[in-house]
Amino acid sequence: MGTDWAIDWVRRSAAVVGEHRAELSGLDRAIGDGDHGENLDRGFRAVVAKLDEATPDTPGAVLKLVATTLISTVGGASGPLLGTAYLKAAQAAGDAPALDAAATVALLAAARDGVVTRGKAEPGDKTMIDAWTPAVEAAQQALDGGADAAAVLQAAADAAERGAEATDPLVARKGRASYLGERAVGHRDPGAQSSAYQLRAAADAAAEG
């Protein structure tokens, strides 16, 4: 998967975030500030505008552009967290012109680890890590089973969606939602849901590109 895939991933992410902007803000309104969808949509619109002006020549360069733009334009916790995820993914990709299955798993793991380092969250805390960690684990299992890069991303996206759904019954232990205690039960974490959308965009770009 080369630069065209990375660009397609970003554009698909921007499209799906825009499509689900109201839904994501609604999820956030139930347990947070209520601006997750708006903030993320604004960030990805800025990313697309930067892409339209730039000519990144590697997947890593594309992901670095995403990282710096999200960090500078997305408010709240999501900007620094997602920005760090994309920055660490860019570093893992390096200057490689294309990524194979093993490099794809390394990219996903680096992104997840970046969020963990920045946010100090663990699985079960009702955060985006509850989507990212199962995604990384499923990607590794797919790689171990001989899957190619596209299949690795498919496995990651499927697991991220299940992980996001699994945040519904959790009590939040991080962020603003943690102040709600039991009242957060029954509400999906917006960061986990938006992460699942972005990982599905990556898988679709690989499958259809």
CA distance 132 to 115: 9
Q: What's the confidence (pLDDT) of residue 179?
A: 45
Q: What's the confidence (pLDDT) of residue 175?
A: 63
Q: What's the confidence (pLDDT) of residue 33?
A: 77
Asked whether residue 178 carries a pLDDT value surpassing 70, the answer given is: no
Ordered domains of the chain (ranges, CATH): 3-204 (1.25.40.340)
CA distance 196 to 174: 19
pLDDT digits (tens, 9 = 90+) for 84-93: 999 999 999 9
**Partner residues linked to 98 by β-bridges:** 2
Q: In the structure, what pLDDT confidence band is assigned to residue 188 with cuts at 50, 70 and 90?
A: confident
For the whole model, what pTM was predicted? 0.92
CA dihedral 2, 8, 9, 15 (to 10 degrees): 180
